[in-house]
Amino acid sequence: MTRQRARVGGAVVTDESWRFIDSGPGAGADNMAVDEAMLEALIAGEAPPAIRVYTWRPAAVSLGRFQRADTSVDAEACRRLGIDLVRRPTGGRAILHTLEEVTFSVVVPAERLGTTGVMDSYRALARGIVAALHLLGLEARLAGRAGTPAPPGRALDPACFAVRARCDLVVGSAKLVGCAQVQRGGCILQQNSLPLRIRVDDWQGLFVRADAVPEATGLWEAADREIPYAEVAGALKSGFQAALGIALDEGRLSAGEVARAGELVSTVAVLDRETARGIAPER
């Protein structure tokens, strides 16, 4: 049984350690399947909470859980350019992921955070992200009320980094980290996208989108230096430990998580499953 010790900034601190898993680059379907498998293992009590850091090779577009593929992304352009098209278990809008991004997922029981409601859990986890970005020389904050309704035409943009939501992290007025959650079985999976560089030109021909320039920035532009993946991963580990009062031990996926991810891969790949039939995602 986990023994509660104290509260740190609203987060429950316990004796149990979380896993810190650095997966490095992976294919889009593999990345999404692993996050889903980690959530399932946590719900089943087969694995402890975890933070997983990874990036993308080859490039991939991920769709939010409820986002239509046929009205958001040009699937043929993705196929032609060798870009994977996958569906996230979390919500939100489409993201073009490349090696110029650090993605990190968090799986944790909701009660472990000591939070009530979705936005409260976003705020709790945002403390770790803010602390990590501070270590990299940036002052960030949860968008909160900065996530105001988009101007006409922008609201329909399917690209995540074209708009700000209350759960995203901003530097100044520019979105830097896109965040999305799913809560299931009393547990939370939060997926977070931290682009190192924003290449709006790469969106052309991929997203069915408005032409407005996004209020977003990449880490390198915000920090005015090129920060390597390893340094970002290290800052995330230190930031979450300090902000949430937890111990993060270097870990790996369990055999059960690896096996389950292998079973889930075909369910998150979109190109040949959804776009061929033009169907809406299942709810």
CA proximity to 178, closest of 191, 168, 163: 168
CA proximity to 268, closest of 103, 23, 93, 31: 31
Known active-site residue 160: yes
Catalytic residue among 160, 167, 179, 187: 160
CA proximity to 94, closest of 178, 183, 173: 178
Q: Is the peptide bond before 152 cis (omega within 30 degrees of 0)?
A: no
Sequence length of the chain is 283
Cα separation, 279 vs 37, whole angstroms: 25
CA distance readout (Å), 225 to 228, 238, 271: 10, 20, 36
Q: Which residue has the tokens 């970005």?
A: 133
Which positions are annotated as active-site residues?
160
